[in-house]
Amino acid sequence: MKVSQWVTKRLEYQFKKVRNFFVSDASYLKRKYKKEFNTVLNLKTPQTFNEKVTYRMISESDPLHATMADKITARTLVEERIGRGFLVPLIGIYNRVEEIDFTALPEKFVIKCSHDSGSAIICTNKQEFSPHSAKEKLAFCLTRNMYHTTRERHYRHIQPRILCEEYIDLFHDNDKKTTPELYRVHCFAGKAKFIEVDFTDEDGHESVNVYNHHWHLQNVTLGHPNNPDARLPSINVLKKMLMLSEITVNHLDYCRVDWFIHNDDILFSEFTLTPRAGKMPFQPASYDSIFGAHWIMR
């Protein structure tokens, strides 16, 4: 990205930051919800999943949420609850981009900020990797607070840091079209109920399958078509992933846990407390209510 584009991004971010002083979270999110779903947001008695996500965004105050959203402290929580063996190996943690010695990093790695979404940079070939571009992106991301962009309050007080993890090659000797790249386990009251399984083929086309906790494919899409050719690991590995999800979220009323499965090894990716910032594109829309019915808000 050119320098001028980063300047534009900084100006856009400053506008959003200033806007927060004049537009409340509730007003902002009500308007966003109406634009997305063409209906009025019900905050008095939220029923659907997206309504409940939005209600959480406006009302949440549990400091545990920030701990879980912080990609560094989340690793500590997972280690305490299920052990270090389920974590992607860590290469380093940095407070500033100037601390990163890219020449010392391995041939393949993933580097990202701890306090946001969308900052991840994946290096699979250092000969084609630009440390300068990576530093520009990370430097910008360190300056922004995701709360000002999305109004997700659990991001508001997370310390901005950078973490570098080993690259997990999920597709070595595997067909990208049929091999899952991420499993997103939706847990309600500490119980795994639904699982999104994400795929991206060689041409960048995405597909998503949604399963219930019995691993039956559900008749729903989430912004991308289903993948009829999906190849999943053994049922024992899948059941173990659900069990680990339930242990890591404990008895939280709702949390999504994301995982990689690599050669039957289950590796934690991150926690998500407010998926899509309350704009999950369920089709048919009835699944918005089906998901929502499982969420007994506290």
Q: Where are the domains of the chain?
A: 86-169, 182-272
Residue range 22-35: mean pLDDT, rounded: 96
pLDDT, one tens digit per residue, over 200-223 is 999 999 999 999 999 999 999 999
Q: Is the pLDDT of residue 83 over 60?
A: yes
Residue range 165-192: mean pLDDT, rounded: 96
Q: Is the pLDDT of residue 1 over 60?
A: no
Report the pLDDT value the prediction gives residue 190, as an integer from 0 to 100.
95
Report the pLDDT value the prediction gives residue 17, as an integer from 0 to 100.
92
Q: Cα-flanking dihedrals φ and ψ of residue 272, to 5°?
A: -135, 125
Please give the share of the chain, as a percent, with pLDDT higher than 90.
94
Distance (Å, rounded) from C-alpha 194 to C-alpha 215? 9
Report the pLDDT value the prediction gives residue 3, as an integer from 0 to 100.
54
Please give the share of the chain, as a percent, with pLDDT higher than 70.
99
pLDDT, one tens digit per residue, over 225-258 is 999 999 999 999 999 999 999 999 998 999 999 9
Q: Is the pLDDT of residue 28 over 70?
A: yes
CATH architecture of the domain covering 182-272: 2-Layer Sandwich (3.30)
Q: How confident is the prediction for the chain on average, in pLDDT?
A: 96
Q: Are strands 191-200 and 121-123 parallel, antiparallel or unpaired?
A: unpaired
Report the pLDDT value the prediction gives residue 266, as an integer from 0 to 100.
98
Q: What is the pLDDT confidence band of residue 4, given thresholds at 50, 70 and 90?
A: low
Distance (Å, rounded) from C-alpha 131 to C-alpha 173? 29
Question: Residues near 114 by Cβ (< 8 Å), separated by ≥ 6?
Answer: 70, 71, 72, 73, 93, 158, 159, 160, 161, 162, 163
Q: Is the pLDDT of residue 5 over 90?
A: no
Residue range 175-180: mean pLDDT, rounded: 96
Q: How far is CA 172 from CA 66, 74, 129, 145, 168, in A?
A: 35, 28, 20, 36, 10
Report the pLDDT value the prediction gives residue 2, as an integer from 0 to 100.
52
Residue range 61-81: mean pLDDT, rounded: 96
pLDDT, one tens digit per residue, over 113-161 is 999 999 999 999 999 999 999 999 999 999 999 999 999 999 999 999 9
Report the pLDDT value the prediction gives residue 192, as an integer from 0 to 100.
98
Residue range 257-269: mean pLDDT, rounded: 97
Q: How far is CA 67 from CA 18, 61, 81, 147, 156, in A?
A: 26, 12, 14, 15, 11
Q: Is the pLDDT of residue 66 over 70?
A: yes
